[in-house]
Structure 1
Amino acid sequence: MRIRRFSVALPVGDLAAGRDFYVRHLGFRAAVDNDRVVKLLHDDPSYELVLVPRSGWEGTEGAVLALEVDDAAAEEERLRAEGVEITAPLRDEEWGERLFQVTDPNGVVVQPVQWIGGRPGDI
């Protein structure tokens, strides 16, 4: 699997407070900021931090490791063929991501993601 970038998504109780903390104290900037997601970028475009509301967070109660790949459908097919359980099937999100989920042996959700539209906040 070729990984282009990675991000960590954290379910939080207060998106605005989280955004303000990371922007004010840790040098991030908000590339996407709405009531569903806050995407924070730093100087290195190969990683990002994503804050999502804890209530209604689909598929997990903890962090999600998102791995940006070139072809999410091909990765899903490859992992399925290797016997990996797909815990959330391939889908296209309205904001331009194609993604699916697997869960590692320790319960960490791993989400291969492909951008099929413009990638918000690209540097």
Structure 2
Amino acid sequence: MIDLMNSFPVFIVKDLKAAKNFYSKYFGFNIAFENTWYLHLISNSGVQIGFMLPDQPTQPNMFHKAYNGNGVIFSLEVEDADSAFAAAKQCALDIVLEIRSEDWGQRHFCVKDVNGIYLDIVQTIEATGEYR
């Protein structure tokens, strides 16, 4: 078995500066590491995310293409989804799914970041019906 210590996604994106500004301004991320082609952010609660520019010669070919907006949901858990939704609206974030409660035990909404990454802002609530 592989004994894990931590986890974080790395998104290959075209605009590191926009990612840094977006996640710092709206989600309180701080810079853990930054160079000309890679950015690593961490929140006060320990959530980490990395961003890398495409076509880096130091990286294998499978890591050269930029994220195209499909196939990934980056979930960020919050204590109060309604407050987070109000803040997202006030900040004029690109809300792509209005806030709603799901039977499986989530209250959530989704925004799209500046590089096309979908963020699912999630609060755990009590599941209903068959999901209990």
Higher relative contact order (CA 8 A, sep 6+): 1
Between Structure 1 and Structure 2, the one with more strand by share is 1
Q: Normalising to structure 1: TM-score of the pair?
A: 0.46
Instruction: State the TM-score, normalizing by the size of structure 2.
Output: 0.43
